[in-house]
Structure 1
Amino acid sequence: MTGQSLVKVQHNMSVAQVQHGSTQYLTFMLGAEMFAIGILHIKEIIEYGALTAVPMMPGFVRGVINLRGAVVPVIDLSSRFGGPASEITRRSCIVIIELQGAAGETRVLGAIVDMVSAVLEIDSGNIEPAPSFGTRVRNDFIAGMAKVNGRFVILLDVEQVLSLHEMAALASAQEAAAGAALTAA
């Protein structure tokens, strides 16, 4: 196993929380910006460990890890958003995210974040739509913006950010470009 499990996330929202329109989010930092993912998508948080690189993948796919016998691809969210690759520090960790596929299958992916902050409960009334400009993240990646303790938190649409179709298309385009470069040489 590449990293020790730091947190096992418990999914036990009460009926009262759902009825009042609040949702729990895991907040984390990428550079100076705070982001959040709905807690129901979070499986666990592990220490950053050695990754095995996979050739011909887009730059934001840093590699794969062995998580209790399962091969889990690890995405560098900073790179995925068009920024530089994350600098790995002692606070860096991998958030293990579980998504449901179209055919009902479960997909598990890891996301490198600079630092995990906290689990916050955010009332739906405090969530605004994504702005049309002003963020370094594509609009379709943003589920909304919330103001928490005087600070904006970007709520991510993990289905869009970690879309297998888009990542596969990017990998195919990179492979085609590499093939064209070899042919031209």
Structure 2
Amino acid sequence: MMASTVEQRQSGAPPASEHSPSAVPSRICLLTLGGELFAIDLRHIREVFELESVTPVPGMPASLVGVANLRGTVVPLADLRPQLGLPAADVPKYAVVVRYGARQVGILVDEVPEIRTIHADDLLAASARGVTESRPFLSGLLKIEDRMSGMVEVSRLLASVEGAIH
């Protein structure tokens, strides 16, 4: 309880009681995949960890590259590069565990994410730019300084990964 209050003061974010969950400014986690920048709502991030090993599982869809053991919990790992049209890279060094309800998956990432506060005028609708057709789990675009970032919609991402399983 105390740590979140300290973090809010340091980040300049208002206390949670001063705004609704959908109000902006909001906190996001930036990550890099294949040289591109993506953002995920911080409320959906469970953990970031350094990959020690990936255990392949026979019969998994292409987007799921295997599983990792995270302190006794088996976490499925997804490589989003093929779905995003990005080139395959060396084995990523990090994974970001995202969750939505009881579902969770680890996303392989190139760089350790950065946490930022964003404002309403930083967001652009994905449909206006045609992003959702080629990248169905992106809900919009985010303007970060002089770069554009895809905003990942975690519920769509998990549905996409689960759809590949069935």
TM-score normalised by L of structure 1: 0.71
Relative distance call for 1:50 and 1:127 in structure 2 (3 A) is same
In structure 2, how many angstroms separate the alpha carbons of the residues matched to 1:133 and 1:38? 21
Whether contact under 8 Å (1:76, 1:86) holds in the other structure is no
Residue pairs, 1:1-185, within 5 angstroms: 14-15=15-16, 18=19, 21-88=24-91, 92-100=93-101, 106-130=102-126, 131-133=128-130, 137-138=134-135, 140-163=136-159, 166-172=160-166
Q: Residue deviations 1:63-85, cap 9 Å, x none? A: 01111222110001213324343
Q: CA RMSD in A?
A: 2.6
Q: Is the 8 A contact 1:56 1:171 kept in 2?
A: no
AA matched with 1:151 = R
1:151 and 1:46 map into 2 onto residues whose CA distance is 26
Shift of residue 133 of structure 1? Answer: 3.4
SS in 2 for 1:162: helix
Equivalent residue pairs, number:
153
Give the letter aligned to residue 130 of structure 2: F
Change (3 A) 1:73 1:46: same
The answer for the alignment partner of 1:178 in structure 2 is none
SS at match of 2:121: helix
Structure 1 residues 116 and 18: alpha-carbon distance in aligned structure 2, compared to 1, 3 A threshold: farther
What are the superposed Cα offsets for residues 125-167 of structure 1, whole Å, 9 maximum, x if unpaired?
Answer: 22110144368951x311111212121121111111121xx43
Q: 2: CA distance between counterparts of 1:42 and 1:64?
A: 18
Q: Against the structure 1 CA distance between its residues 72 and 134, is the aligned structure 2 distance closer, same or farther, given a 3 Å change threshold?
A: closer
Which structure's CA Rg is the greater one? 1
The residue matched to 1:74 in structure 2 has which SS? strand
The corresponding residue for 1:181 is none
Unaligned regions of 5+ residues in structure 2, if any? none
TM-score (norm 2): 0.79
